Amino acid sequence: MLPSSSPSLTDLFKHVDNPVVQITSIKSNPDELVIINGNPITGQSTALGSGFVYNKQGHIITNNHVIAGASRVEATFIDGNSYSVKDIGKDPYSDLSKLQITDNFSKEKIFPVVLGNSPRLQVGEQVISIGNPFGLSGTMTTGIVSQLGRSIPSPVGGYLIPNGIQTDAAINPILLLSIIAT
């Protein structure tokens, strides 16, 4: 349970729903060749994920698997505004990517998330996760820190990602952002 001096879950959600974005990636599927009027057309698929703005320069963090192989990527904010973004740094071994908004945007409308201090985390502390599972924007779940220092299999290379934070919050596969409510 949160101490009485801590903000309510509703207040926390209102504070961080702005920096959480939906990531939409358009990917070509070369295996899906469609012929229309004798012209081959490569099929496309859409991948959805979550990300968060972490500075006023329009940098966004998301999962690498969401944008890997994408021909076009967009970030959509809770207010409905969408911006083109480009991948400016990725680490497929930890499944993270750094994106940059490429469209004109107003720095006054960009609200970076305030990051917590995970080395101070303790088992049993309350956590919330906010994201856009399955394209459903503004979704929040809550839980506790179940354990610290977990190793998580990397999606590529067979490596282990060290020092993972295990939580019992219902995190869908495309939900990225976990914020510590202290």
Residue type for 124, please?
A: G
**Is 80 inside a domain boundary?**
yes
Is 98 found in the same domain as 25? yes
**Is 2 inside a domain boundary?**
no
Is 87 found in the same domain as 52? yes
**Is 154 inside a domain boundary?**
yes
Q: State how far the Cα of 163 lies from the Cα of 165, in Å rounded to an integer.
A: 7
Is 78 found in the same domain as 141? no
Among 143, 158, 142, 146, smallest CA distance to 92 is for 158
C-alpha torsion sign, points 161, 162, 165, 167: positive
Give the structural domain span for 50: 20-31+41-109
**Is 64 inside a domain boundary?**
yes
Per-residue pLDDT tens digits of the chain, which is 182 residues long: 444 467 888 988 888 888 999 999 998 776 556 666 776 666 678 888 999 999 999 999 999 989 998 999 999 998 899 999 999 999 988 889 999 999 888 888 888 988 877 788 899 999 888 888 777 888 898 999 999 999 888 878 788 888 888 899 887 654 344 444 43
If one counts the domains in the chain, the total is: 2
Query: What would the 3-class secondary structure string for 141-167 be?
Result: EEEEEEEEEEEEECCCCCCEEEEEEEE
* CATH code for position 149: 2.40.10.10
Do residues 120 and 94 make contact, with C-beta atoms less than 8 angstroms apart? no
**Is 1 inside a domain boundary?**
no
Is 135 found in the same domain as 100? no
Is 146 found in the same domain as 98? no
Is 121 found in the same domain as 103? no
Is 143 found in the same domain as 120? yes
Is 169 found in the same domain as 142? yes
Q: CA 59, 64, 70: angle at the middle one, nearest 5?
A: 90
For 10, the enclosing helix (H) or strand (E) is helix 9-16
Is 88 found in the same domain as 25? yes
